[in-house]
């Protein structure tokens, strides 16, 4: 009876419910994406994935300009009127960015393709505006659903988006293309994500029929109140993304497209699923922690969550080191052996990301975005230095391994800083509320 009551109490906990909903959606989406990659790696060549990952890296960087990181502010206002005002601000940024990207990438497509020594990239750069637009729309919509506790809608998107994208990639494999590379991966992604965001946006119909009154005064008030997201979080995100994609953006200049494809496959099979898990925990913890913060309640439960996560993740990653080579060979088939080598080099970075990055929202809650920006700058500089060593040695695998090690050297001190912020906060709340 006691065990049953304990189970009910755990299941009824708000964080557990929301996290379970998001993790379930992620699990379904990742299972579909993983199965799709097992097929796609047999339909496309490593060089095709190299072109694909280069397009995504450039597009991902430009996507940050679609909201200028202001979408994080959607969760914070106590009043829905101001929350909806933040949505409108993000949509305005998105429209402007889409127009600029479409024009700029069309005019400069040959220059950019020549810079990366990838002529076929010029064929797809004119569609960059569409790519950044749909990603910016989902970023805005995602945080509106977090605010409204519509985690089931987020989980649904995470489930069907990979399925739509994978189906479109497979369907586009026979499309005509220029040169020797096939752009079906890019075309399929554009079509699949557009369909997925269109389906997810149907959840806004009720708000669009009865919109909140948001005058220019309200919009300006939101911009002033949450200006830290524009001043610090936005450059922090740009630096973070640039650092996170240096292996593609920088190594593509010195190594072959096939090697970039091997890294892209390793990233897709590891970091992308981990990032989706991190985002699930991040979103659920953000929503719960901001409520506790407004009510001056304790946040020490985060320490317990971190400890339990370490007990599960550390042994699991130690086991992965030994099983990765035969597992990757069995899953991907011949010709992808270098992917297993890269995955083993990436394991420390993957582990630190999984355990520590779900708590990055604490800098927003405590208005410490300026300090977080410094961490990101330091991490990017260390990463660039690590890649430079690998390039100088002419060893692609060592470049990736040193890059991951440099990431860990910043992630761990940053997590210790989060712990310090929590301890300082605990000293300033009433003693009887500390549990």
pLDDT along the chain (435 residues), means of 10: 41 54 64 74 79 87 90 84 87 93 92 84 90 92 84 79 83 58 78 88 62 74 86 83 81 81 84 79 80 85 90 93 86 80 92 92 86 88 92 91 93 94 86 43
> Quick check: 292 and 14 in contact, CB under 8 A?
no
Q: Which of 225, 256, 283 is the C-terminal boundary of a domain?
A: 225
Q: Are residue 126 and residue 269 in the same domain, yes or no?
A: no
pLDDT at position 214 is: 67
Same domain, 190 and 258: no
Angle ∠(46,244,337) on CA atoms, nearest 5: 30
Please say which residue of 193, 225, 257 terminates a domain: 225
- Same domain? For 219 and 254 the reply is no
What is the predicted pLDDT for the residue at 205? 61
Q: Is residue 2 part of a domain?
A: no
In a shared domain, residues 196 and 249: no
Q: Is 170 found in the same domain as 294? A: no
Write out the two tokens for 190. Answer: 């554009």
Q: Please give the tally of structural domains in the chain.
A: 2
Judge whether 203 lies within some domain: yes
Residue 193 and residue 294 in one domain: no
In 245-300, which residue ranges form alpha helices assigned H by DSSP? 246-249, 251-254, 257-269, 271-294
- Domain assignment present for residue 9? The answer is no
Assess if residue 212 is contained within a domain: yes
List Cβ neighbours of 424 (8 Å cut-off, separation of 6 or more): none
The SS3 assignment for 246 reads: helix
Q: Which of 425, 427, 411 is nearest to 358 (CA)?
A: 411
Phi, psi angles (nearest 5°) of residue 394: 70, 25
User: 276 and 168, same structural domain?
Assistant: no
Note whether 94 and 185 are same-domain residues: yes
Do 151 and 78 share a structural domain?
yes
C-alpha torsion 186→187→191→192, nearest 10: -40
Report helix, strand or coil for 116.
coil
Domain that holds residue 108: 19-225
Per the domain annotation, does 413 fall within a domain?
yes
Q: Are residues 139 and 212 in the same domain?
A: yes
3 within domain boundaries? no
Name every residue whose Cβ is closer than 8 Å to that of residue 211 and which is 6 or more positions away in sequence: 84
Q: Assess whether 266 and 122 both reside in one domain.
A: no
Predicted pLDDT at 51: 84
pLDDT at 8: 44
Domain annotation covers residue 168: yes
Q: Determine, yes or no, domain membership for 63.
A: yes
Sign of CA dihedral 346, 349, 355, 360: negative
Looking at residue 146, its pLDDT comes to: 83
Task: Measure CA of the first residue to CA of the last residue in the chain; give whole Å.
Answer: 25
């Amino acid at each position: 009876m006691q065990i049953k009551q304990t189970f009910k109490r755990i299941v009824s906990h708000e964080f557990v419910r929301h996290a379970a909903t998001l993790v379930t959606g992620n699990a379904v989406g990742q299972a579909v994406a993983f199965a799709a990659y097992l097929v796609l790696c047999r339909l496309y060549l490593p060089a095709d994935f190299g072109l694909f990952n280069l397009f995504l890296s450039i597009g991902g960087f430009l996507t940050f300009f679609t909201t200028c990181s202001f979408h994080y502010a959607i969760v914070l206002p106590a009043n829905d009127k101001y929350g909806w005002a933040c949505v409108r601000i993000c949509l305005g940024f998105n429209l402007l960015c889409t127009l600029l990207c479409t024009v700029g990438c069309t005019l400069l497509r040959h220059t950019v393709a020549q810079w990366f020594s990838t002529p076929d990239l010029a064929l797809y750069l004119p569609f960059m505006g569409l790519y950044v637009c749909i990603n910016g729309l989902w970023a805005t919509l995602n945080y509106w659903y977090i605010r409204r506790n519509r985690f089931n809608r987020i989980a649904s998107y995470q489930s069907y988006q990979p399925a739509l994208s994978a189906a479109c990639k497979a369907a586009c494999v026979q499309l005509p293309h220029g040169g020797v590379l096939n752009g079906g991966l890019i075309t399929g992604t554009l079509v699949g994500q557009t369909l997925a965001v269109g389906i997810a946006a149907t959840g806004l119909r009720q708000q669009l029929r009865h919109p909140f009154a948001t005058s220019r005064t309200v919009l300006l008030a939101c911009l002033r109140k949450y200006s830290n997201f524009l001043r610090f979080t936005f450059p922090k995100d740009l630096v973070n993304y640039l650092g996170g994609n240096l292996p593609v953006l920088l190594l593509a200049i010195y190594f072959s497209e096939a090697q970039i494809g091997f890294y892209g496959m390793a990233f897709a099979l590891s970091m992308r699923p981990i990032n989706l898990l991190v985002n699930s925990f991040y979103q659920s913890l953000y929503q719960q922690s901001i409520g506790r913060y407004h009510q001056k309640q304790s946040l020490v439960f985060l320490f317990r969550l971190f400890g339990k996560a370490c007990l599960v993740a550390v042994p699991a990653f130690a086991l992965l080191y030994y099983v990765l080579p035969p597992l990757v060979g069995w899953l991907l088939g011949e010709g992808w052996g270098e992917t297993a080598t890269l995955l083993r080099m990436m394991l420390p970075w993957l582990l630190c990301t999984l355990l520590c990055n779900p708590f990055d929202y604490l800098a927003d809650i405590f208005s410490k975005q300026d300090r977080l920006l410094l961490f990101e700058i330091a991490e990017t500089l260390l990463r660039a230095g690590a890649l430079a060593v690998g390039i100088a040695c002419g060893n692609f695998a060592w470049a990736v391994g040193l890059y991951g090690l440099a990431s860990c050297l910043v992630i761990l001190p940053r997590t210790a800083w989060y712990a310090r912020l929590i301890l300082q906060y605990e000293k300033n709340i009433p003693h009887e509320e500390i549990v």
